[in-house]
């Protein structure tokens, strides 16, 4: 075993112990384009042991000598159907020659089942959400309309014939009822009272300053 690879063995064990039994960590030696396992932990994930070959996808990448960049988080599937999240990291000697690979294969099969279950549970009907939004919006507008109409009925005359003081009084009564907490109330009240929205703001300022 190359000296550089020998120093990697404790790292292989450490990674495997850190991430648990579903995480297979493998150290491959590359000699004359042949790749075999020289250290492995949690080999039950793929059913391999020392001397076994590299998995297909990893082997294909290593065989491509023009590619020596590390490959992270690619998908692998074992012969018995396990889905793996895999990463392959190249190990080079002092002359920058690839002498081995450190491979991590995490069995995510059960996590995929959990992911699909959670997706089903949190899935909502967007069309229904939009419908409810429209219903809620309509309800709020109706509430605002009713408040304004009831307040105007007390005054007993159309807004067109009201004096400024009477309109301020209407705004005061609406403010006490919380009408202006409703979105769009300023615009609606200004339209009903036949004044600009800025005038309604001015009325509110006068009411506030008079307190």
State pLDDT tens for residues 50-73. Answer: 988 887 665 666 666 555 688 899
pLDDT for res 17: 96
What is the enclosing helix (H) or strand (E) of 145?
helix 126-155
134 and 70: one domain?
A: no
pLDDT for res 199: 93
Last residue of a domain, one of 99, 118, 137: 118
72 and 101: one domain?
A: yes
pLDDT for res 61: 62
pLDDT for res 25: 97
How many folded domains does the chain comprise? 2
Distances (CA, A) of 177 to 73, 93, 138, 151, 186: 59, 80, 19, 10, 14
pLDDT for res 19: 95
The yes-or-no verdict on residue 102 having pLDDT over 90 is yes
DSSP notation for 165-210: HHHHHHHHHHHHTTGGGSTTHHHHHHHHTTS-HHHHHHHHHHHHHH
Residue predicted with more confidence, 79 or 6:
6
- Domain containing residue 24: CATH number: 3.30.450.20
Residue 89's SS3 state is: strand
Q: What is the rounded average pLDDT of the residues 125-129?
A: 68
For 124, list phi and psi in degrees, rounded to 5: -125, 160
Q: Which domain holds residue 28?
A: 3-118
12 and 78: one domain?
A: yes
43 and 74: one domain?
A: yes
Q: What is the rounded average pLDDT of the residues 75-103?
A: 90
Last residue of a domain, one of 65, 88, 118: 118
18 and 111: one domain?
A: yes
The yes-or-no verdict on residue 156 having pLDDT over 80 is no
């Amino acid at each position: 075993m190359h000296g550089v690879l020998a120093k990697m063995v404790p790292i292989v064990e450490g990674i495997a112990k850190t991430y648990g039994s579903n995480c297979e960590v493998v150290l491959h030696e590359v000699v004359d384009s042949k790749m075999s396992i020289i250290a492995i932990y949690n080999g039950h994930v793929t059913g391999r042991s020392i001397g076994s070959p590299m998995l297909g996808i990893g082997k294909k990448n290593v065989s491509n000598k023009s590619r020596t960049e590390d490959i992270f988080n690619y998908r692998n599937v074992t012969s018995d159907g396990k889905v793996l999240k895999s990463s392959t990291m190249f190990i080079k000697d002092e002359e920058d020659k690839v002498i081995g690979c450190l491979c991590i294969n995490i069995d995510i099969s059960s996590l995929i089942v959990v992911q699909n279950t959670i997706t089903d549970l949190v899935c909502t009907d967007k069309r229904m959400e939009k419908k409810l939004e429209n219903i809620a919006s309509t309800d709020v507008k109706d509430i605002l309309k009713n408040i304004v109409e009831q307040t105007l009925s007390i005054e007993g005359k159309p807004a067109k014939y009201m004096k400024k003081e009477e309109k301020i009084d209407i705004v005061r009564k609406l403010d006490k009822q919380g009408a202006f907490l409703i979105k769009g109330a300023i615009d609606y009240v200004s339209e009903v009272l036949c004044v600009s929205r800025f005038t309604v703001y001015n009325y509110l300022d006068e009411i506030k300053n008079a307190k």
